[in-house]
Structure 1
Amino acid sequence: MFWATGVLAYVIAIFHRQSLGVSSIEAAARLGIGAAGLSTLAMLQILVYAAMQVPVGVLVDRIGSKRMLVAGAAVMACGELVFALSEGLLPGVAGRALIGCGDAMTFISVIRLVNLHFPAHRNPVMVQLTGLIGQLGAIASAVPLIHSLHTYGWTPTFMGAAGLGVLSVILLLTVLRDARPARTDGPPSLKAAWAEPGTRLGMWTHAATQCSAAAFLLLWGYPFLVQGQGLDPSTAGVLLSTLTLCGMACGPLLGYLAGRFPFHRSRMVLIVIGTTTGAWTAVLAWPGRAPLWLLVLLVVVLAANGPGSMIGFDYARTFNPAARIGAATGIVNGGGFVASVSVIALVGITLELIGETDLDAFRWAFAVQYPIWALGAVQVLRYRGKARRLLLSTQPGG
């Protein structure tokens, strides 16, 4: 019950996180902003999320998961309320920043619940299951939210989203029970976690695999499909939901393979990067608008990005002792979202410089992903060598 309540809070957090992606066209009209302004909204939200990862990792060990989850849900509800009433860029930025702050408190807190209430041999499965169920929030932020925006309008839709946050607070206060962990000799060593090559292998894994799908879901996928590819909003919403559903199906498979063949985890990561690059190349190089089957293929390939990024957390667990696992997890998670911010910002800046949101403009804009994939793949290979040498000297088979 404790884990289920925490996961429900995570589902609602994912809903809040991705609500901007399917409302980006309406947000631009409501707030009177262009592509750069939309990038600012999404970028600041994720920057706040990324910046909070390590502090939250330390705090959750000190005050417990329940307090962090309640605080996070309350802050996100306030953020949605501000966003519902926003009519300009500054209040919109404030609302998304609050959502990013509250969101940052959620995932790490739920992972601590997994560590507290489940035996160690079940932890990897439960972490993957937590991420899988959390994607239900992404589904709720696609077609249902689009329908609500078109039926009820901006303010009622986001006031309803704020109400979900209040519901989360009530459930957490009444159902969740938590205990503070035993005190350790000192705070987790951020320096030691960063110096560990396995931590940086996890960080680059998370960054290179997550960024494309995150940028697609959080902001640019919907306008790309509607304005660039000429799809109607309902079809675009179905494609976004398909991405999430396929990701949920892919998660357990990648989790099993990573556990069954731990020495080949980096190969799985490189396959995810390579297939993502190939699918985007096919879509961007297609003469004219891509056929629907190719767009379906793109979202199916992107669906492996999220589960693939979870391998980064497995590296953090493998190479770090329990005393600094929170700090290592924060570094891995933060690195992935910094990469996502970079893609979101660069796409927006490119569109703003071109001054259009047609298909050709989106082609140039999404091309900014290639250097990030290349850098990520190089760094994965680099730290794989270092981490393997360390692991083979202490624990063969990693």
Structure 2
Amino acid sequence: MTEHTKHSPPIARTSHFILVLAPILLAFSLSQFFRSAQALLAEPLRVELAVTPEQLGLVSGSFHFAFALMQIPVGVMLDRYGPRLTNGILMLGTVAGVIIFANAHSVIGLMIGQAVIGLGCSAAFMAALVLAARWTAPEKFAAASGLIVSFSLLGVLASATPLAALVETHGWRTVYFGLAAISLVSVVLDLLFVRDTPPGHAVVDRKGETVLDALKGMVSVWKNRQVWLLSGVAFFSYPAILTVRGLWGGPYLHDVFALGPVEVGNVLLIMTIGMILGPPAYGQLSRKFPAKTQGLIVFAVLVGAGACLLQAFLGPWGVGVAAVLMLIHGFIGSSATLSYAASRQAVPEHQIGRALTTVNLATFAGLFVLQGVAGLIIGQFEAGAPEAYQSMFVFLGIGLGVAGITFWFGAKRKKD
């Protein structure tokens, strides 16, 4: 028996697990909403506060920068204090951040609000994955994580057409005040219903762990070659999707095709549907063909690269073409489920939180860098110029292509 299977979780009743997981899923859905909403808020912010493309990249990137900075502390906190307290306490920060953002009247205020929201949301996804690792059998983790990602993307769905309609009728500030209330509800539900482990599950007690012990555990994870390879993919794969869906897809559709807010929301909704269907599909494939996980990761990343390059050169032909390419990118181009499942298997149970958050750190560092660089690229052209978005998609496509090829050769070398 390997170190990875010594502490396999007992079979827990599905209904019990769903009740325990539901508050974390609400928090994760809110996190997905906040990181995606800028695509629909871009135009109101440009009109009301004269936010430039470069500044818009910084506003959106502030969420991801703060989120990424928190991943190492969150990994230690999850292993030491468990998902319930870690996520519940941090989500209080989300409530404060949403209120700051709703009251902001400058770019600095927007950035501060987004950063505090990012800090508050930083544990939700990892908390859900740690719960899945403890409440489900190891061979079911990929499928469970795929479903977690899929359900959380209801938050991304809400940030498409529904958000556009609410912003048009009530204004973005009112919408965000409502979101602050929903975030507070998620904190209450977390503390009431979340349980860190199923009955009879023994977890190593980490509360007596010193700071030095925590750092040694983190270094041990960072020395893991598989974690490094997966982190490299994570830096480009999901960040490229969210650079389009979460920020620049909205301005692209508005500027290139002259679509209104609700029409933009409808096209982004199509991409979101792909993002919802992709993770559970990959989770099931990984479960049925565990030896093919690395090949599936490479396939997904290279499909994403192709979708971005085609978007650059064929997307401007028409809204229908652009929508189909966005759907393909969202559905087939995401390898996040596979990367998290592979990282969970790469380390012993008491380091699961740190391994998952290391990969997540790479993901959100990639979001900060890719969205910021995309903003700089777009800012070099005249406002609304199609060539600006063409250059952005080429940048994303090349980055994804390099990431996929690098992972393929790195994983192949490991096998040799």
1:320 maps onto 2:347 in alignment: yes
Distance (Å, rounded) in 2 between the aligned partners of 1:44 and 1:104: 13
Aligned residue in 2 for 1:167: 185
Structure 2 unmatched runs, 5+: 1-18
Question: For each residue in 1:147-181, what CA deviation from the matched residue of structure 2 results, as whole angstroms up to 9, or x when unmatched?
Answer: 11111112211111111111212222333344694
Matched letter for residue 84 of structure 1: A
Aligned residue in 2 for 1:395: none
Q: Alignment partner for residue 46 of structure 1, among 58, 64, 68?
A: 64
Question: For each residue in 1:228-258, what CA deviation from the matched residue of structure 2 results, as whole angstroms up to 9, or x when unmatched?
Answer: 2322322221121221222222222211212
Aligned residue in 2 for 1:332: 359
Query: Aligned ranges for residues 74-223 of structure 1 at < 5 Å?
Result: 74-178=92-196, 181-184=203-206, 186-187=213-214, 189-223=217-251
Q: Is the 8 A contact 2:380 2:388 kept in 1?
A: no
Aligned residue in 1 for 2:368: 341
- How many residues align? The count is 388
Aligned residue in 2 for 1:4: 22
Structure 1 unmatched runs, 5+: 390-398
Distance (Å, rounded) in 1 between the aligned partners of 2:118 and 2:337: 20
Distance (Å, rounded) in 1 between the aligned partners of 2:132 and 2:183: 22
Q: Is the 8 A contact 2:142 2:283 kept in 1?
A: yes
- Pairwise CA distance, 1:199: 0.5
- Pairwise CA distance, 1:133: 0.4
Q: Is the 8 A contact 1:229 1:290 kept in 2?
A: no
Q: Is the 8 A contact 2:62 2:112 kept in 1?
A: no
Closer, same or farther: CA 370–16 of 1 in aligned 2, 3 Å:
closer
Distance (Å, rounded) in 2 between the aligned partners of 1:272 and 1:115: 24
| TM-score with structure 1 setting the length | 0.91
2:317 is paired with a residue of what secondary structure? coil
1:320 is paired with a residue of what secondary structure? coil
- Pairwise CA distance, 1:305: 5.8
Aligned residue in 1 for 2:31: 13
Closer, same or farther: CA 366–28 of 1 in aligned 2, 3 Å:
same
Closer, same or farther: CA 205–295 of 1 in aligned 2, 3 Å:
same
Distance (Å, rounded) in 1 between the aligned partners of 2:90 and 2:334: 24
Aligned residue in 1 for 2:269: 241
- Pairwise CA distance, 1:198: 0.9
Matched letter for residue 68 of structure 1: T
Closer, same or farther: CA 387–7 of 1 in aligned 2, 3 Å:
farther
Closer, same or farther: CA 43–153 of 1 in aligned 2, 3 Å:
same
Closer, same or farther: CA 250–374 of 1 in aligned 2, 3 Å:
closer
Matched letter for residue 19 of structure 1: A
Coordinate RMSD, CA, aligned: 2.1
| TM-score with structure 2 setting the length | 0.87
Q: Is the 8 A contact 2:35 2:60 kept in 1?
A: no
Matched letter for residue 89 of structure 1: V
Aligned residue in 2 for 1:392: none
Q: Is the 8 A contact 2:146 2:282 kept in 1?
A: no
2:163 is paired with a residue of what secondary structure? helix
Q: Is the 8 A contact 1:198 1:383 kept in 2?
A: no
- Pairwise CA distance, 1:356: 2.0
Aligned residue in 2 for 1:266: 294
Aligned residue in 1 for 2:394: 367
- Pairwise CA distance, 1:194: 1.7
Closer, same or farther: CA 387–191 of 1 in aligned 2, 3 Å:
farther
Distance (Å, rounded) in 1 between the aligned partners of 2:48 and 2:191: 35
- Pairwise CA distance, 1:280: 2.5
Q: Is the 8 A contact 1:18 1:138 kept in 2?
A: yes
Aligned residue in 2 for 1:394: none
Distance (Å, rounded) in 1 between the aligned partners of 2:401 and 2:306: 13
Distance (Å, rounded) in 1 between the aligned partners of 2:107 and 2:390: 27
Q: Is the 8 A contact 1:316 1:332 kept in 2?
A: yes
Matched letter for residue 2 of structure 1: V
Distance (Å, rounded) in 2 between the aligned partners of 1:306 and 1:71: 33
Q: Is the 8 A contact 1:197 1:383 kept in 2?
A: no
Matched letter for residue 407 of structure 2: V
Closer, same or farther: CA 291–367 of 1 in aligned 2, 3 Å:
same
